[in-house]
Structure 1
Amino acid sequence: MRVAVIDLGTNTFHLLIAETAGKELEILYKTNVPVKLGEGRINDNIIIPAAFERGVNCLQDFSHTIAKYKADKVRATATSAVRSAENGQDFVKAVKEHTGITIETISGDEEAELIYQGVKLSGAINDLSLIMDIGGGSVEFILCDTEKLIWKKSYNIGAARLMQQFFKSDPISDEDKNAILFHVQNQLKDLFNICEKYQPKVLIGSAGAFETFAELMIRKNNLKTDISKAKTFGFSFDDYTEIAGKLLNSTHQERSAMPGIIPLRVDMIVIAALITNYVLGRSKINRLTLSTYDLKMGVLASLT
């Protein structure tokens, strides 16, 4: 069976087309487009007209590709930007009208569940772990072990939200950092209670920003790894700390010139490093792994 998965993220829309036979999966096509649906007014819960139009146009292109590949099943999931926007359902209707694609707006809880299923497929869960997925609109945390999901929650502290609300300096000032961390600390109290109780040993970063950290690490150490082909990547904690420090102290221009950072992530990676450092410190974790499998692969698993 041929299936197509569309993940409508706050920053990026993804399309994945795969052939499935039992448990076997063959990826036939994948792409992502920096639509920036949360641009401008995500904290006002509005999709601005320019972003709305970019979203519809991108999905028109996706629908042509899906038709070309003759997919038997299509599942399109929308997350934080559509979920929280007052005109989110208008966007869903406009997409259906212009492309024939039916979008399913999933809850934060469902999003966390699908991320867990995707990460599980990668083989990254080898110990009591905390999975972290930093999106533009929300951040999901999943506590799990090799057998099961123990706890999960989605928080509205995504990189685009925090950036629009707090990131006003270049390089980021201590004042902006403190404002972000104060906000995050207030949001994540129950996460740290659960971490204190279970004491996870590993932080598994789900795709996105963690792929950028991995790219920077690979280039720093002249490794041969190709992240686009890897399911997982083990981080050196010291390397991560050094790279995060460099990102937090750099200007927009310096980050733009760093090979391994895609344009969409030049500023959001600062927010990602800040939150990741905070979570690692508070949960006393010093082992990091990347899973390149995320929500998309979880959705794919749900279709097979």
Structure 2
Amino acid sequence: MTHPDLIAAVDLGSNSFHMVIARVEADGLHPIDARKARVRLAAGLDDEGRLSAEAQERALVCLRDFGRRLEGLPAGSVRAVGTSTLRKAHNALPFLVRARRALGHPIQVITGRDEALTIYRGVADALGDAPERRLVIDIGGGSTECVLGLGLDPLRAASLDMGCVAFTQRFFATGRIYPGSMRRAVRAAAETVDPVRRVALATGWTRCVGSSGTIRAVSRILRNQGITSGAITPAGLAWLRQTLVDVHRVDRLRLDGLSETRRPVIAGGVAVLSGVFDALGIRRMHTSRAALREGVLLELLAQRAAPSEDLAVAG
């Protein structure tokens, strides 16, 4: 049985894989099913840039599960995209052949810039079309996307080579969080942002919005601990960095709002976010539930819809 009124997006991220299915209706897209699996693809990338057999198998198990849920959706109704780790992996091509078979649909590895633009589209659509200058930050497992835009339109987009998994492996691989390691990680993140700093500050923004797992986890922690109402601030990040250092061991970290699956990579994620704040002078960041997969849905819909149609993802 086919379902012509359904479309789906699959995001093969460096830390987690996501799938969302939405129904196309007159007033917009209505999500009816969403799934997430922590695949840890980036953790399986070795020093030679090859994906381990174990990481590939974790990914294939997840994609088979997604594929069973996508049965009945016709060709052209599903768009699956790969991101940072699949851009880097030297053995991505043979893996993608197996991944396509497991999912039952083609998988496109998108560029970092395309990833950033698609994230912006998803987040901006969720915010609405107010003519305000926006800075959207998305921290993934292997890359961080920074986009400046005006309303629904992106103006500048960059994909930076740092993420929560990559920085955890680089600075906190032993599972210990030392003060010096945290300082070095934050400094390295700020230096990675430096090439886009001048343009970002010259363009400016009136609203800063963060998306995806790391940023939403930080927001939950700060809210649940009573540090902020959910907004992310420099003071809130300083408190969280000190808390991580004081606990010292990742396996002993217990914070209301921090999930068991997010805990192993939170130190790297907090360091990346802190470096972004430092480099760009961000004073306050709010969060969005929308991210890459919502942007993929909107792009898929645009390919199917008549040019005059204007649909949004209903919340």
Give the TM-score range, shorter chain. 0.7 to 0.9
The answer to whether the Cα contact below 8 Å between 2:136 and 2:210 also exists between their aligned partners in 1 is yes
> What residue ranges of structure 1 are gaps of 5+ in the alignment?
224-232
Match of 1:152 in 2: 157
The answer to whether 1:136 aligns with 2:141 is yes
- In the TM superposition, residue 98 of structure 1 has moved relative to its aligned partner by 3.7
State yes or no: 1:114 paired with 2:118: yes
Q: Is 1:297 the counterpart of 2:294 in the alignment? A: yes
Q: Relative to 1, partners in 2 of residues 1:205 and 1:93: Cα closer, same or farther, differing over 3 Å?
A: same
Match runs of 1:32-43 below 5 Å: 32-41=36-45
Shift of 1:221: 3.7
In the TM superposition, residue 61 of structure 1 has moved relative to its aligned partner by 1.0
SS class of match (2:261):
helix
For residues 140 and 271 of structure 1, the distance between their equivalents in structure 2, rounded to whole angstroms, comes to: 16
CA distance 1:125–1:220, shift in 2 (3 Å): farther
Cα displacement (A) at 1:241: 4.4
Matches within 5 A, 1:66-81: 66-67=70-71, 73-81=77-85
Task: Render the CA deviation track for 1:8-40: whole Å, top value 9, x for unaligned.
Answer: 001111110000124511111001001111124
* Segment of structure 1 superposing worse, 241-250 or 55-64: 241-250
Percent identity over paired residues? 24
Query: Offset at 1:234?
Result: 5.5
Other-structure match for 1:176? 181
1:252 aligned partner: 250
Indicate the residue corresponding to 2:272 in structure 1: 275
State the Cα deviation string for residues 212-236 of structure 1 (Å, max 9, x = none): 112213322499xxxxxxxxx9616
1:158-204 deviation digits (Å, cap 9, x = unpaired): 12112222224554223323432443344222221113312334431
Alpha carbons of 1:68 and 1:100: their partners in 2 closer, same or farther (altered >3 Å)?
A: closer
The 8 Å contact of residues 96 and 107 in structure 2, kept in 1 or not, is answered as: yes
Maintained 8 Å contact 1:124/1:291: no
- Letter paired with 1:88: A
> Are the counterparts in 2 of residues 202 and 285 from structure 1 also a CA contact under 8 Å?
no
Q: Conserved in 1, the CA contact under 8 Å of 2:172 and 2:267?
A: no
Task: Give the corresponding residue for 2:304.
Answer: none
Decide which moves more: 90-99 or 104-113.
90-99
Q: Given the superposition, is the C-alpha separation of residues 99 and 236 from structure 1 closer, same or farther in structure 2, using an over 3 Å criterion?
A: closer
1:43/1:118 CA distance change after superposition, 3 Å: farther
Instruction: Name the counterpart of 2:205.
Output: 200
The runs of 5 or more residues in structure 2 that have no matched partner are 302-315
Is 1:104 matched with 2:108?
A: yes
The CA deviation string for residues 30-60 of structure 1, in whole angstroms up to 9 with x for no partner, is 0100111112435532110011011111111
Q: Secondary structure at the match of 1:267?
A: helix
Number of the residue aligned with 1:191: 196
Paired residue total: 294
Quote the residue 1:83 is aligned against.
87
Q: Does the CA-based 8 Å contact 1:132-1:142 persist in structure 2? A: yes
User: In structure 1, the residue corresponding to 2:71 is in which secondary structure?
Assistant: helix
Conserved in 2, the CA contact under 8 Å of 1:43 and 1:165? no
Q: CA RMSD in A?
A: 2.6
- Partner-residue secondary structure (3-state), 1:172: coil
Counterpart secondary structure, 1:101: coil
TM-score (norm 1): 0.87
Give the residue type in structure 2 aligned to 1:129: R
Cα separation, partners in 2 of 1:222 and 1:20, compared to 1, 3 Å:
farther
Distance 2:278 2:79 in 1: 37
**C-alpha displacement of 1:124:** 7.1
Q: Name the stretch that deviates more: 102-111 or 185-194.
A: 185-194
